A and B are shown apart, each in its own frame.
Chain A
Amino acid sequence: GEDVEQSLFLSVREGDSSVINCTYTDSSSTYLYWYKQEPGAGLQLLTYIFSNMDMKQDQRLTVLLNKKDKHLSLRIADTQTGDSAIYFCAESQASGGSYIPTFGRGTSLIVHP
């Protein structure tokens, strides 16, 4: 199975909350990230959480981490049309002294009026 899994699509109405879910398999993951990719662009870091944290909030973004279930979620409050993008979950672990980030397949968030 894949190391990082996330659903491929999410459609929400403008103003609603969006919740994007991610599961990972490696319990030694030290950092977990959410990246955003807008059309025709590279990925940009949205937020991240250390594995010793349960929650992180940053303005409209809330990241929840359940280490027991290896589940990560990203909640976007008051979703706007500008939030339409692909969101990638990623985890990073040390491997022989180097850090190899592993990405999920990405969740396409579609925000409609």
Chain B
Amino acid sequence: NAGVTQTPKFRVLKTGQSMTLLCAQDMNHEYMYWYRQDPGMGLRLIHYSVGEGTTAKGEVPDGYNVSRLKKQNFLLGLESAAPSQTSVYFCASKVGSGELFFGEGSRLTVL
């Protein structure tokens, strides 16, 4: 099983550029999440989805958009990247109240 796969793993952007991070899970999980991890800040929830076609804002949604057109995929978009969005992004999925399965992370640098 691949579990949760994130692409790309590394990306460098210039301020103002746009990009999309893709998260794919093959476990038929309903819930999917995007977190960002910054030193000393732990994991902060950006957006989440409780099922295909639904999305909701988390703790730090500004500057990001998401889509869940297919149950297995959860996309995170940055329309106009800013240096403050330099971070490591983690996607996770789960079934109900069970264990969260994480991807390996996507390291984004915005110059």
Closest beta carbon of chain B to A64's beta carbon, Å: 20
Given A42-B102, A42-B104, A97-B50, A105 contacting B41 (CB threshold 8 A) = yes
Docked-complex contact B42 and A98, CB < 8 angstroms: no
CA–CA, A44 and B4, complex, Å: 12
Chain B: residues with Cβ within 8 Å of the partner, total of 24
Docked-complex contact B33 and A101, CB < 8 angstroms: yes
B34 interface residue per 8 A CB criterion? no
| Interface class of chain A by DSSP | strand
Range class of the A interface residue count: 20 to 34
Docked-complex contact B97 and A30, CB < 8 angstroms: yes
Docked-complex contact B40 and A44, CB < 8 angstroms: no
Docked-complex contact A92 and B97, CB < 8 angstroms: yes
- Selected contact of B103 from candidates A31, A42, A97, A99, CB within 8 Å: A42
Interface Cβ pair total, 8 Å cutoff: 55
Docked-complex contact B105 and A41, CB < 8 angstroms: yes
Closest beta carbon of chain B to A34's beta carbon, Å: 11
- Selected contact of A99 from candidates B4, B31, B41, CB within 8 Å: B31
Beyond A99-B97, A101-B33, A101-B100, list 8 extra A-B contacts (CB 8 Å): A8-B40, A42-B104, A45-B99, A98-B50, A99-B94, A100-B45, A103-B42, A104-B42
**A contact residues vs B (CB 8 Å cutoff):** 8, 30-31, 33, 35, 40-45, 48, 88, 90, 92, 94, 97-106
Ranked nearest first, the 5 interchain pairs of A and B with the lowest CB-CB distance are: A42-B102, A105-B42, A103-B43, A98-B50, A43-B102
